[in-house]
Amino acid sequence: MNRTHVLLAAAALLALGAAVAGLPAPHAPHDPFFPKAPPAPQAAPAPGPASPRFQRQEGALGFEGQLSSAVLATGTGREAYALLTVRAERPAQERRVPVSLALVIDRSGSMRGQKLSDARRAARMLVGRLGPQDRLAIVHYGTDVVTFPSEPVTEEARARMLAFVAGIEDEGQTNLSGGLEEGARALRPHLADFRANRLILLSDGVPTVGTTHPGALAELAVAYRREGMAVSGLGVGEDFNERLMRALAEQGGGFYGYLQDSERLTEILQREVDQAATTLASGVELRLTLPEGVTDAQPLGVASRLEEGARVIPLYDLAGGQQAQVLVKLTLALDATSKDRPMLHARLRYQDVEHERPVALALDLEARAEPGAPDGRDSMDPEVALAVTRALGAQQLQAAAEAMKQGDRGRALGLLDGARNLFGASASALSGEVAEVERTQAAYLNAHDETSVKREALKLHNTSLRSFGQSNSY
């Protein structure tokens, strides 16, 4: 698997999207995870007056949106931004719901040694944490796939599950698709009986047999999510394919993690179970459509696809207190208006776990269009301006991580400097991001072997995801 495969997958999806009416495809294929040509660093925008907040609340989630300005410039090719926030309020009394899980463990030769030992230990912890109200299936795969079928975790079943885990030995190639398919097959008969159904993949994410194309594997995750199964991808080791594991989690509505130290698998898997057991909203997705005068809407830093004339952004399952933010860049071609008009139609869909019902919320983000109004990032709402600065800096970080992996030290350091300057222009608001970039710069300068460089690149990749407003990465 390599970058070429990912680009080909992106190109295929974009070509499909171009045939769908409503949103135009970009002019050229791009890598949705590591932009090939990030924008040059620019000074952070000077915050302008606050723009109106458009809000809806129903069921478990609140939905809020705001534009970068209440008054936008007329003309063709102008730009604006929309910041969308989906928030699950923390309930007065948190209640654990039963879960149905399938743990899918990579046992291929590349997992030999400490990685597989830690995966077995994490699996034992998971078996110990669940009870008879929960169901668990355990799948391990090399070239072939072996399954312990889904069962309630009674004391008798627990003993058999632990014996099954103890018998996992490294062997064979990496049939990742076969492992996912068997995990989904184990969950499928019980979907109607559980509010939280999740596939948890532990792997270095480098498939070698079965379905290996990243686009096809991501489509598996999309299909499972539509059925009601979330997919989480937990990667271990310096050589794992972070694009693939992240794509599985993003398209599957689950969580993504890079564990440079596989000993952390137990801790992360525990958090995964806790999150699944307190989920308030599943199958969360945003659908964006364009009103007249808006020619394009591009979400920054998150996966999206074109579907029936809408830009669809899959989000992860949300537990109480969690939120997801999505920043959308709008391309405008506006005529002057005397009153506010829609600039983006945003729809939130999800399954309310507690009340077992689908919910749909609609927001129409409105602004006025005037000749000579401040354009682009010159005069933005302060909160949107901060999100734009974060996103531009995160693009620099992702490009720096890619340059690190390619051995281009000068370009990587230049991109890190650009990100630091962007974050630093926002003073104390982004001081944490500045400190993280400085830590990365120092660690990278001291990284003189290939393993250390890969480790810093993967850590930087994770850092960038949080800067895009996503909280589904460990």
Per DSSP, the chain holds a count of helices (H) and strands (E) of 11, 18
Per-residue pLDDT in tens (0 to 9) along the chain, 474 residues: 443 443 333 333 333 333 333 333 333 333 333 333 444 444 444 556 788 999 999 999 999 999 999 999 999 989 999 999 999 988 877 778 899 999 999 999 888 888 888 889 889 989 998 999 999 999 999 999 999 999 999 999 999 999 999 999 999 999 999 999 999 999 999 999 998 899 999 987 789 999 999 889 999 999 999 999 999 988 877 667 778 888 898 889 888 877 665 567 777 788 888 888 889 999 999 999 999 999 999 999 888 989 989 999 999 999 988 999 999 999 999 999 889 999 999 999 999 988 889 999 999 999 999 998 877 566 789 899 989 988 888 889 889 988 988 889 999 999 999 999 988 887 677 888 888 889 888 988 888 888 788 778 877 777 776 666 566 666
Q: For residue 181, give both structure tokens.
A: 């398919």
Report the alpha-carbon distance of residue 260 to residue 237 in Å, rounded. 5
- The count of C-alpha atoms lying within 13 angstroms of the C-alpha of 333, restricted to the half-sphere facing its C-beta, is 9
* Per-residue DSSP letter, 191: G
pLDDT at res. 1: 40
pLDDT at res. 474: 63
Q: What are the residues facing 74 on neighbouring strands?
A: none
At residue 334, the 3 state secondary structure works out as strand
For the chain, the C-alpha Rg in angstroms (whole number) is 23
Report the alpha-carbon distance of residue 63 to residue 82 in Å, rounded. 13
Q: For residue 44, give both structure tokens.
A: 């952070």
185: exposed, middle or buried (C-beta count within 10 Å: 0-12, 13-18, 19+)? Answer: middle
Q: For residue 56, give both structure tokens.
A: 């809806």
pLDDT at res. 330: 96
Q: For residue 217, give both structure tokens.
A: 């594997």
Give, in order, the Cα–Cα distances in Å from 100 to each of 24, 66, 325, 445: 40, 37, 28, 45
**Where do runs of H (alpha helix) occur along 114-233?**
114-129, 155-166, 176-187, 214-227
At residue 228, the 3 state secondary structure works out as coil
Domains and CATH numbers, the chain: 54-80+281-374 (2.60.40.740), 99-277 (3.40.50.410), 381-474 (no CATH)
Residue position matching structure tokens 């018998």: 167
Report the alpha-carbon distance of residue 325 to residue 303 in Å, rounded. 13
Q: Which residues contact 426 (CB under 8 A, 6 or more apart)?
A: 44, 386, 389
Vertex 325: Cα angle to 29 and 266 (nearest 5): 95
Residue position matching structure tokens 């990742």: 176
pLDDT at res. 350: 95
Closest CA to 331 of 18, 11, 15, 24: 24
Give, in order, the Cα–Cα distances in Å from 103 to each of 191, 206, 371, 387: 16, 18, 57, 36
- Tell me if 331 sits within 8 A of 77, measured CB to CB: yes
Residue position matching structure tokens 């007056």: 49
Report the alpha-carbon distance of residue 275 to residue 253 in Å, rounded. 13
